[in-house]
Amino acid sequence: MEAMGPEPMRLEDEPALVDCAKYDPEAFGDLYERYCDEIYAFVYARLNSRAEAEDATSEVFLNALRGLAGYRRSEQSFRAWLYRIAANVVVERFRRRRPTTSLEDAPDSAIESADIAETIVQRERLRSVWAAVDELPRHQRMAITLRFSADLSNNTIAGVMGKSKPAIKLLIYRGVHALRAKLAVDDLQGPAAQGDLSAQNV
């Protein structure tokens, strides 16, 4: 008779395992096994790079292990908490991708065919817009980045942030309104405002 492998962790076992993992890092391995593929799929769908997704997934679980002592089950499920960490990692990686490739790195043919002055203006607008985004309150910044940089739907953002869809719409609306107070309207209507940060997208 073949030896039976360990039974998969049941959902009802998770709270006890999370509590155990707070004091015993080895117990965190079961949580990692349960959610690793799921979190990898989430970040890969946003980052579109296997290498970066693998690195980001490792970062998510490392951050989770470090922050586990502060996790409160009464506030949200472990899965929702883990996804929030993953969303933060994705947001930070999108921030690192800015600004776009420098003009010096562009192919000669692209430079010859482009209006260099307009390219410079657009890139400066892009920097200004995302610099303003970085100054928004944390929840507004996260909602704006996930919506316009990661191109997630409001429903997906709601699940990631643990909020309702109307709450996400309000965060984005207020974030866009705050950006318009910081920037000229033309900066937000131009193509450099990645994703067209306008009220109609809310």
For 77-112, what is each residue's pLDDT tens digit? Answer: 888 888 889 988 988 887 776 544 343 444 444 444
Nearest to 68 by CA among 34, 111, 17: 17
Nearest 5 degrees, angle CA 76-CA 83-CA 51? 165
The pTM for the full model equals 0.58
Is the pLDDT assigned to residue 71 strictly greater than 60? yes
CB 176 within 8 A of CB 108: no
Q: Are residues 120 and 200 in the same domain?
A: yes
Q: At 190, phi and psi to the nearest 5?
A: -80, 165
Any idea what the CATH number is for the domain that residue 187 is in?
1.10.10.10
Pair 120, 87 in one domain:
no
Site of tokens 């391995």: 29
> Any idea which residue has 């996790």 for tokens?
71
Are 83 and 151 found together in one domain?
no
For residue range 172-181, list pLDDT tens digits in order.
999 988 888 8
**What is the tally of structural domains in the chain?**
2
- Residue whose C-alpha is closest to residue 84's, from 49, 114, 44, 43: 43
- Report the candidate in 80, 61, 71, 60 with the shortest Cα–Cα distance to residue 18: 71
Of 39, 71, 97, which residue is a domain's last? Answer: 97
